[in-house]
Amino acid sequence: MDALDAIFQRKSVRNFTGEEVPKEKLELLLRAGMAAPSAVNMQPWEFILVTNKETLQSMADNLPYAKMMSKASACILVCAIPELAHRKLKDYAIIDCSCASQNILIAAEALGLGAVWTAVFPNIDRIEFVRKLLGVPKDVIPLNAIAIGIPTGEDQPKDKYKPEKIHYEKW
């Protein structure tokens, strides 16, 4: 798929068939995440790939806006590591990991998969829940849990283009 098609066709997919996503495609998503830009190329990220059904169900039960995890084939938890970021700043780590997350979401679309960012950071309860469930160390910030699966086709892209949001030359 052409890059622009993938960008414009991408949508949050919350309806999955329940079929399995091949391992090779999941590996490609992780590669896409790591291809993202980061401040001073510090790459302050690590990823947890979850395919265990009980773990996915626990996320569905405990993360308030992640019910779709129960039918997802996998989840990628994008983790930010401020210690590794430019100037060891949390802000850079979160920004860099957001770029990695968007790469994963677009790559999923390009591979014919469905994906949705479900929020962990900045909610303290969700961060603590995920840390406990997946053994994430204290100095690592779980940014999001990206649900991944085979889309049913129910979710469709939205047209969000608003010319009035663009300023030319000056505000």
Ligand X SMILES: Cc1cc2nc3c(=O)[nH]c(=O)nc-3n(C[C@H](O)[C@H](O)[C@H](O)COP(=O)(O)O)c2cc1C
Q: Does residue 65 touch ligand X according to CB under 6 A? A: yes
Contact predicate 93/85, CB 8 Å: yes
Stretch that binds ligand X, among 17-25, 50-58, 111-119, 162-170 (CB under 6 A): 111-119
Q: How far apart are CB 155 and ligand X at their closest, in Å?
A: 7
Q: Does residue 126 touch ligand X according to CB under 6 A? A: no
How many other β-carbons are positioned within 10 Å of the β-carbon of residue 69? Answer: 27
Binding mask 131-160 for ligand X (x = CB under 6 A): ---------------------------x--
Stretch that binds ligand X, among 17-25, 53-61, 84-92, 114-122 (CB under 6 A): 114-122
Q: Does residue 103 touch ligand X according to CB under 6 A? A: no
Which amino acid belongs to residue 146? I
User: What is the footprint of ligand X within residues 22-61 (CB under 6 A)?
Assistant: none
Q: In this structure, are strands 141-149 and 45-50 parallel, antiparallel, or unpaired?
A: unpaired
Helix (H, G, I), strand (E, B) or coil at 45: strand
3-state secondary structure 107-158: HHHHCCCEEEEEECCCCHHHHHHHHHHHCCCCCCEEEEEEEEECECCCCCCC
Q: Which is nearer to ligand X, 11 or 131 (CB)?
A: 11
Contact predicate 64/72, CB 8 Å: no
Q: Does residue 7 touch ligand X according to CB under 6 A? A: no
Residues that bind ligand X in the complex, under the rule CB under 6 A: 11-12, 14, 65, 116-119, 158
